[in-house]
Every structure is written in C-alpha cells, then in structure tokens.
Amino acid sequence: MARGPGLALLSLSLLPPLLLLVAVIGHAAAQDNCTCPTNKMTMCERSGPGGRCQCRALGSGLLVDCSTLTSKCLLLKARMSASKSGRALVRPSEHALVDNDGLYDPDCDQQGSFKARQCNQTSVCWCVNSVGVRRTDKGDQSLRCDELVRTHHILIDLRHRPDTRAFNHSDLDAELRRLFRERYLLHPKFVAAVHYEHPTIQIELQQNASQKAAGDVDIADAAYYFERDVKGESVFPGRGGLDVRVRGEPLLLERTLIYYLDEKPPQFSMKRLTSGLIAVIVVVAVALVAGVVVLVVTNRRKSGKYKKVEVKELGEMRKEPSL
Ligand SMILES: *[C@@H]1O[C@H](CO)[C@@H](O)[C@H](O)[C@H]1NC(C)=O
Ligand SMILES: *[C@@H]1O[C@H](CO)[C@@H](O)[C@H](O)[C@H]1NC(C)=O
Ligand SMILES: *[C@@H]1O[C@H](CO)[C@@H](O)[C@H](O)[C@H]1NC(C)=O
Ligand SMILES: *[C@@H]1O[C@H](CO)[C@@H](O)[C@H](O)[C@H]1NC(C)=O
C-alpha cells in the first residue's frame, strides 16, 4: 500500500536529475556540430556562458571567423604545424612538384595578415606582399620591410583538359563567377574578367585597398582557397572536391599558374622588369592528382629540365604577366 506514494515520490525526486540528464545529452548533441564550416584546420569548442562555438586556427591558436574565409597566412601556418606534428597532409605525392608553392611557416599578425617581413630559422629574411609571396631579395636580420605591399591583381591561369570540347564562353564565365561568389564568398565586383580560349582559361581578380570594405573577402584568400581546391586539398571540411559544371559538362582542370601583381613594383636587384609593368611574380604550379605524375614524368623524359624550373618557381622565377 505504501509503495504507491513512495514510488511517486521517488520518481518525482528523480525528475530533476532526469531532466538534467536530458539537457546534458541535448547539449552534447548540440556540441557535435561545433566545427568551422570554412576551415578544417581548426580546433573548436563551446565556451563561455552562452556556449558559443569558437574555433582557433591550428598553429597560431588565433580565433577565426567561420562565417568567412580564413586568411592565407593562418592557413599556411596551420599547414606547416600539421606537417611538423606528423598529421597526415592531404597531398597528391611527396614529389617536389607539389611542394613548390612557396610553403614556409609564416609570421602572421593578430588579424591573420602576413607580416611584411618574414624570416626563416636561419635568420634569412625577406619582404612579402599581402599574399605572402617574396618581393625583395633575401637579406639578413637587418633587412627592413616598411609596409605590407598589397597584391591588388591576381591572374589565375588554368587549362582544362584539351580533349574536351570547347565550352561556351559566357556559360563558363557565369559558372566561374558563381563559384567565386558562392564557394569563396568573394563579392562579384572583384572578379574582373574571365578570359577563355580553348583550353586556356584566365580568371582575373582585382581588388585595391580602397575598394575593399570591412568584411569583404580578400582576393588573396579566395585565390588560395581556389588553389587548394584545384589541388584536391580543400580547406573546407567534408565537402567534396571542386565540381564545376558548365551546362552539365564537368570542367576538369589540369594546370594552374597564378600571377600576383602588387601595387608597387617588387624590389629585386636583378633589373629584368620593364617599367610599365606593375609587378610580377612567383608562380604556383599546380596539378590535379592525376596530372602530377603525368607532368613530372613527361617533362622529365623530354628535357630533364622540368624539375629545375619548378624549383626556381619556389621564389626565384619572375615572369612578366602576359596580360
Ligand atoms: C549545427 O546544427 C544545427 C541544427 O541541426 C544547424 O542549424 C547548424 O547549421 C549546424 N551548424 C554547423 C556548423 O554545422
Ligand atoms: C632559410 O632560407 C635559406 C635561404 O633561402 C635557405 O638556404 C635555408 O634552407 C632556409 N632555412 C630553413 C630552415 O628554411
Ligand atoms: C552561349 O550561351 C549563351 C546563353 O548562355 C547563348 O546566348 C550564346 O549564343 C552561346 N554562344 C554560343 C557561341 O553558342
Ligand atoms: C582602385 O580601383 C578603382 C576602381 O577600379 C579605381 O578607380 C581606383 O583608382 C583604384 N585605386 C588605386 C589606388 O589603385
């Protein structure tokens, strides 16, 4: 007889802990997706009274805003820290070709921008532009870099597989613009032009300091995310690779060269630059997974020169952009 009320009492006293348990489980479930949708090289956790999801970039530990792209400097730094700690890097191959994109462990400021002067462990220093590419000769620690010179024009030179038939230029143009707007969150006005002549595609990004409003994605970061996507090393977590289709036809990219033009001419002692040109640059050779091996093999057989050229591209090679 006494059992009934006793049980009721018992369950009543169990109720708050049960509710608590449910709440905790619910909270844990909500925590499950505390990740950074724009940068997989982060550590995220809920903190503070509101339990807001906060993400910090690997390597630097700086807080990142996951509603937009992470800066190239922080991404490079995270990448270097991952390779140091032996974390698996998504790389098509260990061959030098894919390493030659000017990889180094950069110094970033609190906003995630490159510091104007970069040095490596052996106290060799150089000045970089806003995309982190060297724009002066190397010097020792007395080298001064007064300002971070802005890269305001980026030319991305791509080639699609030559055996596919020509795309309709205006459709291709529209798809690439959509890609930069939707995937890289770049304001459309910064995609200055898309040129196309089968099988070469050129995308021009332009953004000078006065045009860039607070919150605008920088063309340097959009280009870097794109470069990583083309290489099959996407910075986005869990999203598939690049899948660009033009009227249903997949756009298969084979090769990418990226030219960076700065607001001020670079300062190399070698006087090769013609006066009218604003600047120039280091080239990033990129190839898709399948493309890498083929390129290396075929080029080596032909001349044995390919590797040398690629190594130079690490920082030495300068080209006048063929605009
Ligand atoms: C987390 O989950 C909620 C609800 O399921 C969803 O609205 C939100 O977009 C998710 N956030 C992320 C970063 O996936
Ligand atoms: C630093 O740079 C110099 C000159 O480019 C290079 O020879 C050296 O290997 C670099 N050291 C490191 C640790 O990157
Ligand atoms: C390309 O497609 C557009 C519509 O998207 C069309 O107006 C144009 O005529 C096409 N050009 C060619 C050469 O087929
Ligand atoms: C920035 O771009 C705008 C529009 O293209 C141009 O009017 C302006 O002169 C440029 N400013 C600089 C400093 O290059």
Dig out the tokens for 292 from the structure: 């890498």
State how many domains the chain has. Answer: 1
User: What are the Cα distances from residue 55, in Å, to 47, 70, 101, 225, 270?
Assistant: 10, 11, 27, 18, 44
User: CA 48, 53, 55 angle in degrees (round to 5)?
Assistant: 110
Residue 251 lies in a domain: yes
In this prediction the pTM is: 0.73
> What are the tokens at 203?
């995308």
CA of 134: how far to CAs of 85, 286, 290, 299, 323, in Å? Answer: 26, 19, 29, 27, 21
Average pLDDT, the chain: 75
In which domain, by residue range, is 234 found? 150-269
Residue whose CA is at the smallest distance from ligand 2 atom 8: 122
Q: Give the residues across from 156 on adjacent strands.
A: 203, 258
Q: In the structure encoding, which two tokens stand for residue 144, read together?
A: 């001064």
Kindly state whether residue 156 falls inside one of the protein's structural domains: yes
* Helix, strand, coil percentages, rounded to 5, for the chain: 30, 20, 50
Kindly indicate the confidence band of residue 172, based on its pLDDT and cuts at 50, 70 and 90: very high
The two tokens of residue 180 are 């930069």
The pLDDT, as a whole number, for residue 86 is 52
35-54 residue pLDDT tens:
999 999 999 999 877 888 99
10 vs 261, higher pLDDT = 261
Q: What's the sign of the alpha-carbon dihedral 213, 219, 222, 228?
A: negative
Q: Comparing 67 with 307, which gets the higher pLDDT?
A: 67
* Mean pLDDT value of segment 130-155: 92
- CA-CA distances (angstroms) from residue 197 to 158, 192, 201, 254, 284? 11, 17, 6, 15, 21
Give the C-alpha separation, 313 to 259, whole Å.
11
> Which residue, by CA, sits nearest to atom 9 of ligand 2?
122
Least confident among 144-153, 217-226, 238-247, 285-294: 285-294
pLDDT at 136 > cutoff 70: yes
Output the ligand 3 site: residues, CB below 6 A.
168, 170-171
> Does a structural domain hold residue 21?
no
Select the more confidently predicted residue: 37 or 6: 37
Q: What is the pLDDT of residue 26?
A: 43
Tell how strand 200-206 and strand 151-160 pair up: antiparallel
- Tokens (6 digits) for 78: 């995270």
Q: Which protein residue has the closest C-alpha to ligand 1 atom 9?
A: 33
What is residue 13's predicted lDDT score, i.e. its pLDDT?
52
Report the share of the chain in percent with pLDDT over 70. 67
| Listed ranges 10-19, 88-97, 221-230, 259-268; the one with the highest mean pLDDT | 221-230
Asked if the structure places residue 96 within a domain, the reply is no
Per the model's pLDDT, the better-predicted residue between 39 and 122 turns out to be 39
Q: Indicate whether 32 pLDDT > 80.
A: no
How far is 312 from 316, CA to CA, in rounded Å? 5
The pLDDT value given to residue 270? 56
Tokens 């970069």 map to which residue?
Answer: 118
pLDDT classification of 185: cutoffs 50, 70, 90: very high
- Amino acid, res. 299: N
Tokens of 96: 């030098």
Task: Give the tokens for residue 74.
Answer: 């922080």
Residue 217 lies in a domain: yes
For a pocket test of ligand 3, which of 171, 172, 177, 194 has the largest count of ligand atoms closer than 8 A to its C-beta? 171
Q: Is residue 69 assigned to a domain?
A: no
Top mean pLDDT of 57-66, 130-139, 292-301 is at 57-66
CA-nearest residue, atom 1 of ligand 3: 168
Which CATH number does the domain housing residue 251 bear? Answer: 3.30.70
pLDDT band at 83 (very low <50, low <70, confident <90, very high): confident
| 269: its two tokens | 């002692």
Query: 102 CA distance to ligand 4 centroid (A)?
Result: 29
Q: Is residue 101 a contact partner of residue 130, using CB atoms and an 8 Å limit? A: no
pLDDT greater than 60 at residue 81 = yes
Whether residue 204 is contained in a domain is answered as: yes
Strands 245-246 and 191-197: unpaired
Say if 304 falls within a structural domain.
no
